């Protein structure tokens, strides 16, 4: 996800470091809710149940909102918290809608490249409005996908993950 975010940021002429950091840190809300679910002895999410639906049913919120709260608690900049909070619904990120759209589009690429989470399948579908809100032209999206795949392959090789 972080590699996809950094790649999209390059195309969007946006802050690559901020995009990468948002890509790295966005799952902290998932971790926090997983810990809370274990402590509450909640039933596991069913394989066909989307992650945000399960989270709303049991917590009244989703992992993106919780991640933003955790990041604020850890004293990360408010801009980063807003970007992460808007991962599912970038329009809710206020003045950070563009960067949140970037993270959303990075999620689209991550899923297309096989890195998406099972509970999020189908939540991140390529849409012209989301892609253009992220700062890309529709015709750049395919090039960004190819570059993200190559960047991911290089990163995996560098970390000996292949």
C-alpha Rg value of the chain to the nearest Å: 15
Query: Tell me: the pLDDT tens digits for 90-114?
Result: 988 889 999 999 999 999 999 888 8
What pLDDT sits at residue 36? 96
Contact yes or no for 48/65 (Cβ under 8 A) = no
* pTM of the complete model beyond 0.75: yes
Query: Tell me: the pLDDT tens digits for 3-25?
Result: 999 999 999 999 999 999 999 99
Range of the domain at 20: 2-158
Domain count, the chain: 1
Neighbour count for residue 118 (Cβ, 10 Å): 10
Query: How would DSSP label each residue in 11-45?
Result: HHT--HHHHHHHHHHTTHHHHHHHHHHHHTTPPPP
How far is residue 21's CA from residue 47's CA, in Å, rounded to a whole number?
Answer: 29
How far is residue 59's CA from residue 80's CA, in Å, rounded to a whole number?
Answer: 23
Residue 34 is part of a domain; what is its CATH number?
Answer: 1.10.3210.10
């Amino acid at each position: 996800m972080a590699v996809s975010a950094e790649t999209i940021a390059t195309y969007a002429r946006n802050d690559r470091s901020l995009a990468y950091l948002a890509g790295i840190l966005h799952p902290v809300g998932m971790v926090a809710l997983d810990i809370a679910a274990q402590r509450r002895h909640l039933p596991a999410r069913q394989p066909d149940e989307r992650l945000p639906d399960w989270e709303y049913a049991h917590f009244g919120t989703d992992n993106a909102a919780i991640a933003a709260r955790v990041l604020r608690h850890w004293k990360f900049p408010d801009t980063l918290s807003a970007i992460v909070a808007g991962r599912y619904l970038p329009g809710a990120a206020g003045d950070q809608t563009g960067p949140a759209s970037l993270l959303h589009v990075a999620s689209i690429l991550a899923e297309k490249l096989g890195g998406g989470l099972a509970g999020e399948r189908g939540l991140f579908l390529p849409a012209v409005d989301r892609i253009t809100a992220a700062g890309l032209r529709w015709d750049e999206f395919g090039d960004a996908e190819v570059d993200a795949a190559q960047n991911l392959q290089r990163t995996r090789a560098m970390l000996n993950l292949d």
